Amino acid sequence: MAEDTVEKKSLLDSFAEVSAKVGNQVHLRSLRDAFATVMPIYILAGIAVLINNVVFPLFLGGDALANAQYWGNAVAQGTLNVATVVLAGIIGYCLAKNKRFENAIACVVIGIAALCIMMPQSVGSAAASIQDFTELTYKSTADKDADPYTVTREEVESGLAIPEGYEISSVGSNGVSNVFTKTYTGTNGLFGAIIIGLAATTVFIKFSENERLRVNLGEGIPPAVADSFNTMIPMLITLAIFGLVAALLHGIWATDLMTLINTCIAAPLKGFVNAGPWFVILIYTLANLLFCLGIHQSTISGVLAEPILTILITENMAMFASGQPIPADHYMNMQIINTFALIGGSGCTLMLLADTFLFSKSKASKDIAKLALLPGIFNINEPVIYGYPIVYNLPLIIPFVLVPNLFIGLTYALTCAGILAPCVVMVPWTTPVFISGFLAVGGGAAGVVAVIWQVVEFALGMLIYLPFMRVSERAQAKQAELASAEA
């Protein structure tokens, strides 16, 4: 029996050790820190999108609505539309801090500059003005099934008349130079920001560690000036390397790194995450098991799943703001987890507190529940995990892991079935249950359905937790009896 206990402890210790190493890997940790840093601007963008598309249309219309929505569009332009640029710089800063590099600000510059270097230097017709066109395509205003009517620039300049009942539907162009496109500065470029930000900063720090590449100006020089000269040559070399890579990609394959990342990495990863709930369930199973050993679940979920899921919800916000439908490969995202699978925090422990108040006979458990209730309403549940406790409490570990996984799977299935609307707003993770559900899907009738589903989840979670809570209390009472007998 003792040997079995030692073996189990050894297995748990090994699992915790491996998980801690994964969570503390410097690049993954920097990625987690960077997303945590920029999270406020995503939340602000979500609030702006919600107000623009749900609140303003309730009492405004026409020009008044357009003028009011200018506020939300301006906020989106400064948050969602530059999300990639901001993230590249913040990743550089966080990686520098985690590597204890002395000039972290220089890494912000490197991250942003390298990202811009790797972007395409011209964009297609979507960014072209009418003066730049090579052809115009018209569609019928009377017959939607009619074939489009296309004319070249030469035909337009020669005075060719356009048939009545047709309007311009698209502008063809050879491309526009010296511009950036929101395709890559906005949410669609976040994977590029991650890869380029990490790579450029790593290369820059490596060159900066070479003493021969530093410019020593002697004593009496202001620190800011000395730091800029110390990093000048490494910065020049790093950016020149990225410029060379960009030139080779353009010259040999007529492409750019951002396009390659979106096509070869971002799209498959998003597809993998949304192929079903199984990947997310696996990650959160491991993360919650880790929490039951006393190590915070973000050590695993924060580095392996949440960056990808956060990218998906930011893209949903951008699509919702522009009136586009949410594709099925964006149904699984960070907001589904926060809103429907972490009610009361990791493990959905708010249901356990409700069971404790209604059905528990343990005074100690009720005392802990009273202390943990207020934080739990705002999805902060460390008092439950360490005070109830959940940690190393086998009867409660089972529902702690089971309930969130069940809710992830069911919520995803209901979304795919069209019963629940996709999440389109990043709501602060501390938003209380029911309010979070209404806001996450954009309010309205869809929000009411989301709240109803959260009520069902709450009841189901209480039902699952109840027998395990009773077993836990019996086990604690038995342990107390044994301790008294031994004393």
Task: Look at 84-88, 139-143, 411-415 and tell me which has the smallest mean pLDDT.
Answer: 139-143
Both tokens assigned to 41: 């601007």
**Residue 459, pLDDT above cutoff 60:** yes
pLDDT of residue 312: 92
Q: Return contacts of 313-316, CB within 8 angstroms, 24+ apart.
A: 313/42, 313/423, 313/426, 314/42, 314/45, 314/80, 314/83, 314/187, 314/190, 314/426, 315/187, 315/188, 316/422, 316/423, 316/424
Q: CA torsion sign, 419 to 425 to 430 to 431?
A: negative
**Residue 257, pLDDT above cutoff 80:** yes
**Residue 287, pLDDT above cutoff 70:** yes
In single-letter form, the type of residue at position 76 comes to A
**Residue 159, pLDDT above cutoff 90:** no
User: What distance, in Å, lies between the first and last C-alpha atoms of the chain?
Assistant: 24
Cα dihedral value 297, 298, 303, 308, nearest 10:
100
**Residue 277, pLDDT above cutoff 60:** yes
Calculate the CA 74 to chain-centre distance: 21
Share of the chain above pLDDT 90, in %: 46
Share of the chain above pLDDT 70, in %: 82
Higher pLDDT, 364 or 17: 364
**Residue 487, pLDDT above cutoff 80:** no
In single-letter form, the type of residue at position 162 comes to I
Binned at pLDDT 50, 70 and 90, residue 1 comes out as very low
**CA atoms within a 13 Å half-sphere pointing along the CA-CB vector of 191:** 20
Binned at pLDDT 50, 70 and 90, residue 13 comes out as low
Higher pLDDT, 217 or 60: 60
Average pLDDT over residues 385-402: 90
Nearest to 173 by CA among 233, 120, 243, 124: 124
User: Do 22 and 304 form a contact (C-beta atoms < 8 A)?
Assistant: yes
In single-letter form, the type of residue at position 477 comes to A
Maximum pairwise Cα distance, the chain: 104
**Residue 220, pLDDT above cutoff 70:** no
Q: CA torsion sign, 57 to 336 to 342 to 307?
A: negative
- Name the average pLDDT for the chain: 85
Binned at pLDDT 50, 70 and 90, residue 329 comes out as confident
pLDDT of residue 175: 54
pLDDT of residue 112: 96
Give the Cα separation of 307 and 91 in Å (integer). 12
Higher pLDDT, 407 or 47: 407
Question: What angle do the packed helices 83-98 and 104-117 form, to 10 degrees?
Answer: 140
Give the Cα separation of 408 and 404 in Å (integer). 6
pLDDT of residue 260: 92
Give the Cα separation of 85 and 90 in Å (integer). 9
Higher pLDDT, 437 or 266: 437
**Residue listed under structure tokens 């790194």:** 257
Task: Look at 45-49, 104-108, 468-472, 477-481 and tell me which has the smallest mean pLDDT.
Answer: 477-481
What is the tens place of the pLDDT at every residue in 162-191?
Answer: 666 666 555 555 555 666 777 788 888 899
Give the Cα separation of 26 and 368 in Å (integer). 37
Give the Cα separation of 193 and 185 in Å (integer). 9
Nearest to 410 by CA among 351, 472, 313, 332: 332
Question: What angle do the packed helices 394-416 and 444-486 form, to 10 degrees?
Answer: 170
Give the Cα separation of 348 and 367 in Å (integer). 19
pTM of the predicted protein model: 0.77
Binned at pLDDT 50, 70 and 90, residue 154 comes out as low
Average pLDDT over residues 424-451: 93
**Residue 126, pLDDT above cutoff 70:** no
pLDDT of residue 212: 86
**Residue 22, pLDDT above cutoff 90:** no
pLDDT of residue 140: 66
The 3-class secondary structure across the chain, one letter per residue, is CHHHHHHHHHHHHHHHHHHHHHHCCHHHHHHHHHHHHHHHHHHHHHHHHHHHHHHHHHHCCHHHHHHHHHHHHHHHHHCHHHHHHHHHHHHHHHHHHHCCCCCHHHHHHHHHHHHHHCCCCEECHHHCCHHHCCEEEEEECCCCCCCCEEEEHHHHHCCCCCCCCEEEEEEECCCEECCCCHHHHCHHHHHHHHHHHHHHHHHHHHHHCCHHHCCCCCCCCCHHHHHHHHCHHHHHHHHHHHHHHHHHHHHHHCCCHHHHHHHHHHHHHHHHHCCCCHHHHHHHHHHHHHHCCCCCCHHHHHHHCHHHHHHHHHHHHHHHHCCCCCCHHHCCCHHHHHHHHCCCCHHHCHHHHHHHHHHCCCHHHHHHHHHHHHHHHCCCCHHHHHHCCCCCCHHHHHHHHHHHHHHHHHHHHHHHCCCCCCCCCCCCCCCCCCHHHHHHCCCHHHHHHHHHHHHHHHHHHHHHHHHHHHHHHHHHHHHHHHHHHHC
pLDDT of residue 270: 81
Both tokens assigned to 287: 């993360």
Average pLDDT over residues 211-216: 81
